[in-house]
Amino acid sequence: MISPRTLSRFLLIGLLLVSIQDIAGNFEVAAFTGFGSYQLNDLRTFQHESLPQLGVDIRSTTNFPSYYYYQLSMLYYIRDKWGIGITGSFFSTGGRNHYKDYSGEYKFDMLTNARNIGVVFNRKINLKNGLFIIPEICAGIKLSDLKLMESHRVYADSTSSEFLVKSIGMWVEPRVRLMYMPLSFLGVGASIGYEYNLPSKNYLSTDHDRFLMLISKRENMRFDWSGLRPNINMIFTF
């Protein structure tokens, strides 16, 4: 004879199996890679204002160009239509002021990156034969770093300095995804969106009361990563 305790255990296991079966296939992990454009107007102004007057033709050889970015999202779908989840992204670019000749070299590198951390909401619309269109919106906080590395070498003498600047801001990105699922657990897709980044002030990593200033504006230099976000992606469901 089965005891009440044993029966209750079987019932609990049965309920867990039913619950797992109900949510199976509703989870999605999407990995994105794209080529983002970035405004970063204040950083370009700061780069121009940082050109030193050394009597030689020092130039800005790299000016914070568009560059690859990466993103990872995980969502849970309610009734196979409404998705909610978390997302994270990584962006990078940089600038350089440089001059070199037989007598020496001057180099000023400005390497910047940003990490997005946030939430994502979407609506999955089934078109036909495993093809979906997904209007989506993401939003959260953005953590930016700017590493400044300056070196000056004349003959055998050389000097160098290095600083790290940080910034915390907000971002929101509406976008549209196309997704094709040739298999029940694997899909591919592409999307395009535009990230709006509220320009955020900077501060030195070692002293939050010190910051980089734009001479022309006499104010704190701000980070603005706003720009287009086209990408391709791979989707896994389970």
pLDDT-wise least confident of 3-12, 25-34, 40-49:
3-12
Strands 67-78 and 27-36: antiparallel
What is the gyration radius of the CA atoms in the chain, in angstroms?
A: 25
Q: Note the pTM of the prediction, 2 decimals.
A: 0.85
User: What was the pLDDT predicted at 79?
Assistant: 86
The mean per-residue pLDDT over the stretch 92-105 comes to: 94
The mean per-residue pLDDT over the stretch 200-211 comes to: 93
pLDDT-wise least confident of 13-27, 42-56, 86-100, 220-234:
13-27
d(CA 77, CA 238) in angstroms, rounded, equals 11
The mean per-residue pLDDT over the stretch 36-42 comes to: 96
Mean pLDDT of the chain: 90
Percent residues over pLDDT 90 in the chain: 78
Asked whether residue 9 carries a pLDDT value surpassing 80, the answer given is no
Domains of the chain plus CATH, in order, are 26-237 (2.40.160.70)
User: What was the pLDDT predicted at 19?
Assistant: 43
SS3 of residue 59 by DSSP? strand
SS3 of residue 63 by DSSP? strand
User: What was the pLDDT predicted at 11?
Assistant: 44
